[in-house]
Structure 1
Amino acid sequence: MGSETISLTSPAFQHEGTIPARYTCDGENINPPLSIGELPEGTKTLALICDDPDAPRGIYDHWVVWNIAPTQEIKENHMPGISGMNSSGKTGYTGPCPPDGEHRYFFYLFALDTDIDLPEVSGKGDLASAMIGHILGEGILMGKYSRP
């Protein structure tokens, strides 16, 4: 059984567009608003991962969150579920802050058929393992950012 594609957009920036500084280390460092399309039937919870594959030491995780109630919107500056550890060793959202050049930031949304039972100290790898066999649908939004 393959997973369905879910529309994931933001009123703050276009797919493959520039993420406004407000959502980065150069601004308020708050999460951008996200709009979610129709969810697959049977969706119990959502999970969200935001990472930067262009980071100098490998993929940098900016936001890892799970057990989000099914919704069509994640509001700006809002913690919608249980937040896991990001690459800065903290829970919650850490905005883009590339050390050099323009980086890409991928927001991955997963519709799941179950709750995820993980402690908040869990990271992206733990979440990815816990989601195996439970993904009903996926959406991707990518934004770019370079520091002024």
Structure 2
Amino acid sequence: MVERLLFTCPGFFDGGEFPIDNTGKGENKSPAFYLENLSPQAKTLAITLEDLTHPLKKDFTHWLIWNIPISTRIPPAIARGFEPANLVPARQGIAYGWYAYAGPKPPLGQTHRYRFIVYVLDSPLNLGRWTLKAQLLKAMQGHILQKGELTASFGSPKNLRPLPAG
């Protein structure tokens, strides 16, 4: 049986709205995660981010990351790349963000709902550079000790413009 994981992200609450910094209309950086009741058997963590209301693909994947070292805090702004330099030995897969976090960025005038799922695993996963969500989920079968979810919305008003680069 999979136990419930309790976690929070600063600036978020379940059912609330995404902070602009964590969206594709802002700085597009991954949020920090604070885990509250980690299993003593935990060896690694994995996270997915999905768009639950994408009009073309149900549960459209924005981010895949696994083999995150066990900690009660996952840092914000995880670097791009299959092997993010600031979170060794984590690995990122192929999603809307290729080897990177890709925050919400719905079309102008639309609001979408997004879901983070944090998985606590009893072992690291040996997955390659071309890993998609279906492969990650299959590899995690039988290894999930805990699982927690946080859902938030983000709307893209017609007058919202991205921050200037630099």
Scaled to the shorter chain, the TM-score interval is: over 0.9
In 2: Cα distance, 1:11 partner to 1:49 partner: 17
Q: Give the fraction of aligned pairs with identical amino acids, expressed as a percent.
A: 33
Counterpart contact for 1:12–1:33, Cα < 8 Å: no
CA offsets 1:99-133 (integer angstroms, 9 cap, x no match): 25211110001111111000122011110000001
1:74 lines up with 2:74 in the alignment = yes
Structure 2: 5+ residue stretches without partners: 80-86, 158-166
1:95 lines up with 2:103 in the alignment = yes
Q: Match for 2:134 among 119, 125, 132?
A: 125
In 2: Cα distance, 1:76 partner to 1:46 partner: 15
In 2: Cα distance, 1:13 partner to 1:36 partner: 14
Q: Match for 2:147 among 133, 138, 141?
A: 138
In 2: Cα distance, 1:41 partner to 1:8 partner: 16
Structure 1: 5+ residue stretches without partners: none
In 1: Cα distance, 2:126 partner to 2:95 partner: 18
Corresponding residue pairs, total = 146
Alignment of structure 1 residues 39-78 onto 2, 5 Å: 39-58=38-57, 59-78=59-78
Partner of 2:121: 112
Cα distance, 1:84 vs. partner? Answer: 0.6
In 2: Cα distance, 1:41 partner to 1:71 partner: 11
In 1: Cα distance, 2:129 partner to 2:117 partner: 19
TM normalised by structure 1 equals 0.93
Counterpart contact for 2:18–2:153, Cα < 8 Å: yes
Cα distance, 1:87 vs. partner? Answer: 3.0
In 1: Cα distance, 2:131 partner to 2:96 partner: 11
CA offsets 1:41-81 (integer angstroms, 9 cap, x no match): 21111111110121111121111000011111122202442
In angstroms, what is the RMSD of aligned CA positions?
1.2
Q: Which amino acid counterpart does residue 3 of structure 1 have in structure 2? A: V
Q: Which amino acid counterpart does residue 94 of structure 1 have in structure 2? A: A
In 1: Cα distance, 2:73 partner to 2:113 partner: 22
The structure with the larger Rg is 2
